[in-house]
C-alpha cells in the first residue's frame, strides 16, 4: 500500500526543488521596484553555485587523498600529525575509540557513497576494486577480524554504506553504475550480508534487545560484562533500517524480523506520557535512564521511524513516528529547541541541548512541518555564528559560577550579578565536525529555496577552508573556548558533513532530478527501493534460520506472559509492553506546514515587482529573540550581531516591504497541562474562509491524552509575545459573568478585569495572534463544576480553579482565556 501522507509531502518538496530555480530574467521594458542594490557575490546564480560545489569537491578529494596517503589501511587519519589513527589495542576499555575503530578501514567504506554522490566513476571503481582486493581472498568475510565493536556505529557506517554503494552499482540510471561484471559478482552485497550475520547475534538476549557490542570473530565471548549491561534507545532500535533494507535486497527476512522486533519493543516501553526512556539493560530489561529528548541516545529512533515508513511504505512505522512526535511536541518542544525531560513525569531534566539534536529540523522538513523546522534551525545557526562550531552541549540555562551582590559593594539596589564561566555555558566543549547542522540546512534549502540557507553554506564552507583544514585532512575542535584542535578526522566528516555541503550547492545532482524515492540514512548514505524490488521481496521472502526463529518465538512468549501479569508494577522500572488498540493503526492526517510551504511560493510568484528575497530574513519578526532571551549563553553577543551571518547579505536579501523586528516581550508566560485518559488525538486546523485574514481555528474534537498550552498574561501596558503593545481593548472581550462556578459570580469577582489570559501555544502548535482554540467540552464541563475540579487537571501554576464562563471561554481563577473555548 502506498504511503499516502508522507509520500505526497515529499513529492511536493521534490517537485519544487526540481523546477524552481533562483536564476531569474526580466523584461527590459518593465519598470522594477528594486529595494536594494544587487551585490554580485551574493547573487547565488547557477554558475556561482557550481563554483561553490567544485570548491567542496576539492575539499572532499583532499580529505579522501589524505586518508589514502596517511591513514589507509587503518580506520582513520590524524589530520595534524599525518599518521594513521588506530584503535587502542593496549586498552580494551577505551570504548570511545574502539567502538568505531575496528581496524576495518572504516573511512574507506564510509566514503563510498560520497564518491557516488559526486558521480566520480573512476574513483568509485577504484575504491570498489580496492575493497574487492582486500576481501576476496577471505571469501568476502569479516571473520578474520578479532575485534569488539559497537553494533550501531558499525551498522550505520559500514553496513549502510555497502548497501547504498550496491544500489548505485546495479542501477543503470546512475553515473557510477558498474555494469554487467558487477551484476555477476555483487560482492558489496555479499560483504554486507556477511557483516550483518556477524552483528545479528547481539540480538540473542533474553529480551530480544541487542547488546551494544559484539566481537566479529567470537560473538559476545570475551567481552567484559560491564561493556554489555546498558544500551540506548537509538542503538537498540535503529539497526532496523539497514537490516530491513538488507532483507529486501537478499530475500532473507530474518534481518527484518529480528531487528524490527527490537524496534517495536523499544516503542512499547514508552511511558504513559508517550515518551521513551533513553537506556535499558538489554539482558534483563531493567530501565536505566529515564531522561528523554531528541538528541544523543535516542535521536535515530525517531529518524528511522519516519524514514522507514517512507522507504518501506510502512503505515505502522508512521503511526509510531506520528504518536512519538505528538508526545515530543507536548512535553519537550520549546520556542527555539527541544528540551530533555524525564520520560515518566515530563519534568525538565537538563538545562542544555546537545549538538546531535541539530538533525531535527531536517527531519521536520521530511514530515512537512516546515514552519517549526525553520524556527528550530535558527538556534543552531546562532550557535554556529557565535562559536563557528556547534558545541557538543550548550546550556540555555547555565549555572552561575559566582554571585556578586551589589549590596556588598555599597549599592543598595538589591540586585545580584551572576558570573558564568565557559564551562557553565558549554558543559561539553568539543566539536568533531558533526554534520547535523549542515544536514538540516540542506533539507531546508531544498524545501524552501531560501537564499538564507545558501548563505549559511557559504559561511560553513569558508570556515572549513580557513579554520578546520589542516595539512592532512580536517581537524575538529577539542575545546571551543581555547580553540584547541582535535588530531582526528572521524569518518562522518567525508560521509556526511562534506556530502551535505556538496549537495547544498549542486543543483543538477542526480538525487535532485530522479523519481527514485531516495532516503538518506542517519550516516547520509542514499538508499531507495523500486516497485519491482518491493514486489520481488513480497514474493520471494523467506525465514528459515531455526536459531532466530526459536529465539523470536521465545521472546514473544515472554512478552505475552508479562502482559498477562502486568498490573502497572513494572512502570519506570522494567520493560512494560503495550498492546496497540485499533485507533493506533488508523491513518491520521498529517497537519504539517505544507500550506505555509505553498504560501511561500505563492508570495514569490505574486511579487513580480521585486527580486526574490529571503523569507527568513524578511518575515521572521522575532529573528533576534534568541540573542536576547539567552544572552548569558552567548558571551560574544554585543560585540557583533551574528544572526545574519553577513551584513551585506542581509541588506541584499531582506526587503523593506516585510522586514521589521518586533519588540521584546515583557509579559509572563506559564505552562498549563491537561491530563486526560486514553490515547492522544491531535487537533485539526481550519482556515477562515476569508484567506486575507488568515485566521485559524484549532479544533480538539476529542479531549484525549495530555494537552499542553503555553499561556500568557495579557496586562495593559506590557508587550505581548507577538511584540505588540497591550492596550485596554484587550480586556473588552473578557466575560466575567455567568460562570459555571458560582464562586466566580460573587461581587468581588465582577468589578472588572485588570488582565486576561491568552494561549500562545497549543500542543506544540504556535498560535497566530487571531487564532482560536476549540475544545470538545462534553466531558470537560461536568468535571469543572465539581468541588474538586482542579484535581481534574495537572498544571504548573499552582491550584488556580478551572472553569468556563457564559461565552464558553475556559477560565483560570475566574479569569478567561480569551481564545480558548469549550464547546
Number of domains in the chain: 3
Q: Which of 555, 580, 605 is the last residue of a domain?
A: 580
- pLDDT score for 190: 98
**Residue-number span of the structural domain to which 529 is assigned:** 104-340+510-580
Residues 222 and 331 in one domain: yes
* Catalytic one of 230, 256, 392, 436: 392
Residues 477 and 529 in one domain: no
Cα distance between residue 520 and residue 527, in whole Å: 6
Within a domain: 148: yes
* pLDDT tens-digit readout, 36-73: 333 445 678 899 999 999 999 999 999 999 999 999 99
Residues 166 and 270 in one domain: yes
- pLDDT score for 407: 54
Within a domain: 150: yes
Residues 189 and 332 in one domain: yes
Can you read off the three cell numbers belonging to residue 538?
Answer: 513480497
Within a domain: 648: yes
DSSP 731: G
Residues 172 and 255 in one domain: yes
H or E element at residue 810: strand 809-812
* pLDDT tens-digit readout, 109-160: 999 999 999 999 999 999 999 999 999 999 999 999 999 999 999 999 999 9
Within a domain: 85: no
How much of the chain exceeds pLDDT 90, in percent? 57
Residues 648 and 684 in one domain: no
* pLDDT tens-digit readout, 768-800: 888 999 988 887 777 776 544 333 343 333 445
Residues 169 and 144 in one domain: yes
Residues 545 and 565 in one domain: yes
Residues 533 and 445 in one domain: no
Within a domain: 396: yes
DSSP string, 659-672: --PPPPP-S-EEEE
Residues 242 and 387 in one domain: no
Q: 127-136, 247-256, 559-568, 661-670: which has the minimum mean pLDDT?
A: 559-568
> Quick check: is 392 catalytic?
yes
**Ramachandran category for residue 121: left, alpha or beta (phi over 0 → left; psi -120 to 50 → alpha):** alpha
CATH classification at residue 247: 1.50.10.10
Within a domain: 60: no
Q: Which of 549, 580, 611 is the last residue of a domain?
A: 580
SS3 287: strand
Q: Which of 550, 580, 610 is the last residue of a domain?
A: 580
Cα distance between residue 56 and residue 503, in whole Å: 9
Report the interhelical angle of 46-70 vs 498-505 (nearest 10°).
160
Within a domain: 65: no
* pLDDT tens-digit readout, 714-743: 898 899 888 889 888 777 666 666 666 666
Residues 521 and 616 in one domain: no
* SS3 track for 134-149: HHHHHCCCCCCCCCEE
Residues 187 and 324 in one domain: yes
Above 70 in pLDDT, residue 629? yes
Exposure pattern of 105-133 as b/e (b: 16+ CB <10 Å)?
A: bbbbbbbbbbbbbbbbeebbbebbeebbe
Within a domain: 383: yes
Amino acid at each position: 500500500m502506498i504511503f499516502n501522507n508522507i509520500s505526497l509531502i515529499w513529492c511536493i518538496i521534490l517537485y519544487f526543488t526540481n523546477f524552481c530555480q533562483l536564476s531569474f530574467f526580466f523584461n527590459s521594458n518593465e519598470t522594477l521596484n528594486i529595494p536594494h542594490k544587487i551585490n554580485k557575490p551574493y547573487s547565488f546564480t547557477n554558475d556561482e553555485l557550481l563554483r561553490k560545489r567544485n570548491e567542496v569537491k576539492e575539499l572532499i578529494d583532499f580529505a579522501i587523498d589524505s586518508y589514502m596517503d596517511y591513514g589507509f589501511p587503518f580506520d582513520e587519519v590524524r589530520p595534524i600529525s599525518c599518521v594513521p589513527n588506530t584503535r587502542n589495542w593496549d586498552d580494551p576499555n577505551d570504548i570511545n575509540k574502539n567502538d568505531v575503530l575496528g581496524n576495518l578501514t572504516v573511512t574507506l567504506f564510509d566514503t563510498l557513497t560520497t564518491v557516488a554522490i559526486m558521480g566520480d566513476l573512476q574513483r568509485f571503481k577504484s575504491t570498489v576494486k580496492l575493497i574487492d582486493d582486500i576481501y576476496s581472498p577471505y571469501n568476502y568475510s569479516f571473520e578474520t577480524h578479532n575485534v569488539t565493536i559497537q553494533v550501531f556505529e558499525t551498522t550505520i557506517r559500514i553496513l549502510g554504506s555497502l548497501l547504498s554503494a550496491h544500489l548505485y552499482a546495479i542501477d543503470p540510471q546512475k553515473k557510477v553504475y558498474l555494469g554487467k561484471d558487477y551484476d555477476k559478482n555483487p560482492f558489496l552485497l555479499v560483504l554486507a550480508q556477511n557483516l550483518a550475520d556477524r552483528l545479528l547475534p547481539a540480538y540473542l538476549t533474553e529480551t530480544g534487545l541487542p547488546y551494544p557490542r559484539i566481537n566479529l570473530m567470537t560473538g559476545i565471548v570475551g567481552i567484559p560484562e560491564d561493556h554489555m549491561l546498558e544500551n540506548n534507545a537509538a542503538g537498540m532500535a535503529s539497526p532496523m533500517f539497514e537490516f530491513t533494507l538488507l532483507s529486501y535486497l537478499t530475500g532473507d527476512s530474518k534481518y527484518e524480523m529480528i531487528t524490527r522486533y527490537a524496534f517495536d519493543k523499544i516503542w512499547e516501553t514508552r511511558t504513559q506520557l508517550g515518551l521513551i526512556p533513553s537506556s535499558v539493560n538489554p539482558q534483563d530489561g531493567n530501565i536505566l535512564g529515564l531522561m528523554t529528548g531528541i538528541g544523543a541516545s535516542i535521536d535515530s529512533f525517531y529518524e528511522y521511524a519516519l524514514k522507514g515508513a517512507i522507504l518501506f511504505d510502512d503505515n505502522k512505522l508512521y503511526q509510531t513516528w506520528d504518536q512519538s512526535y505528538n508526545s515530543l511536541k507536548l512535553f519537550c518542544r520549546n520556542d527555539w529547541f527541544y528540551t530533555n525531560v524525564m520520560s515518566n513525569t515530563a519534568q525538565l531534566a537538563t538545562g542544555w541541548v546537545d549538538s546531535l539534536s541539530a538533525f531535527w529540523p531536517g527531519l521536520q522538513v521530511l514530515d512537512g512541518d516546515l514552519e517549526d523546522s525553520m524556527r528550530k534551525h535558527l538556534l543552531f545557526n546562532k550557535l554556529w555564528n557565535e562559536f563557528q562550531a556547534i558545541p557538543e552541549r550548550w546550556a540555555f540555562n547555565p549555572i552561575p559560577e559566582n554571585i556578586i551582590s551589589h549590596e556588598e559593594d555599597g549599592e543598595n539596589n538589591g540586585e545580584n550579578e551572576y558570573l558564568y564561566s565557559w564551562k557553565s555555558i558549554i558543559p561539553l566543549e568539543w566539536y568533531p565536525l558533526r554534520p547535523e547542522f549542515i544536514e538540516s540546512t540542506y533539507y531546508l534549502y531544498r524545501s524552501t529555496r531560501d537564499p538564507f540557507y545558501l548563505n549559511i553554506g557559504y559561511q560553513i564552507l569558508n570556515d572549513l577552508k580557513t579554520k578546520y583544514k589542516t595539512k592532512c585532512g580536517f581537524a575538529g575542535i577539542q575545546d571551543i573556548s581555547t580553540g584547541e584542535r582535535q588530531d582526528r578526522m572521524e569518518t562522518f566528516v567525508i560521509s556526511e558533513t562534506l556530502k551535505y555541503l556538496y549537495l547544498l550547492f549542486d543543483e543538477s545532482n542526480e538525487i535532485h532530478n530522479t523519481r527514485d524515492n531516495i532516503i538518506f540514512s542517519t550516516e547520509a548514505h542514499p538508499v531507495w527501493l523500486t516497485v519491482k524490488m518491493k514486489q520481488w521481496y513480497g514474493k520471494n521472502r523467506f525465514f528459515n534460520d531455526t536459531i532466530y526463529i526459536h529465539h523470536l518465538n521465545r521472546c514473544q512468549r515472554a512478552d505475552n506472559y508479562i502482559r498477562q501479569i502486568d498490573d502497572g508494577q513494572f512502570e519506570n522500572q522494567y520493560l512494560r509492553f503495550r498492546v496497540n488498540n485499533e485507533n493506533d493503526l488508523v491513518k491520521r492526517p498529517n497537519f504539517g506546514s505544507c500550506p505555509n510551504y505553498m504560501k511561500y511560493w505563492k508570495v514569490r510568484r505574486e511579487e513580480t515587482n521585486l527580486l526574490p528575497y529571503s523569507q527568513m530574513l524578511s518575515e521572521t519578526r522575532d529573528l533576534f529573540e534568541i540573542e536576547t532571551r539567552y544572552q548569558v549563553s552567548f558571551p560574544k553577543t554585543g560585540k557583533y550581531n551574528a544572526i545574519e551571518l553577513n551584513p551585506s547579505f542581509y541588506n541584499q536579501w531582506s526587503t523593506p516591504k516585510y522586514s521589521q523586528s518586533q519588540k521584546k516581550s515583557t509579559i509572563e508566560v506559564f505552562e498549563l497541562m491537561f491530563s486526560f485518559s486514553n490515547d492522544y488525538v491531535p487537533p485539526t486546523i481550519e482556515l477562515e474562509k476569508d484567506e486575507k485574514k488568515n485566521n485559524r481555528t484549532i479544533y480538539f474534537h476529542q479531549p484525549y491524552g495530555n494537552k499542553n498550552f503555553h499561556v500568557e498574561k495579557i496586562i495593559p501596558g506590557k508587550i505581548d509575545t507577538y511584540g505588540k503593545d497591550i492596550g485596554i481593548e484587550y480586556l473588552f472581550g473578557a466575560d466575567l459573568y455567568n460562570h459555571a462556578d458560582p464562586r466566580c459570580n460573587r461581587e468581588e469577582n465582577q468589578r472588572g478585569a485588570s488582565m486576561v489570559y491568552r494561549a500562545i501555544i497549543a500542543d506544540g502548535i504556535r498560535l497566530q495572534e487571531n487564532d482560536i482554540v476549540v475544545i470538545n467540552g462534553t466531558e470537560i464541563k461536568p468535571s469543572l463544576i465539581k468541588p474538586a475540579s482542579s484535581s481534574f487537571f495537572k498544571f504548573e501554576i499552582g491550584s488556580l480553579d478551572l472553569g468556563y464562563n457564559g461565552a464558553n471561554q475556559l477560565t483560570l481563577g475566574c479569569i478567561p482565556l480569551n481564545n480558548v473555548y469549550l464547546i
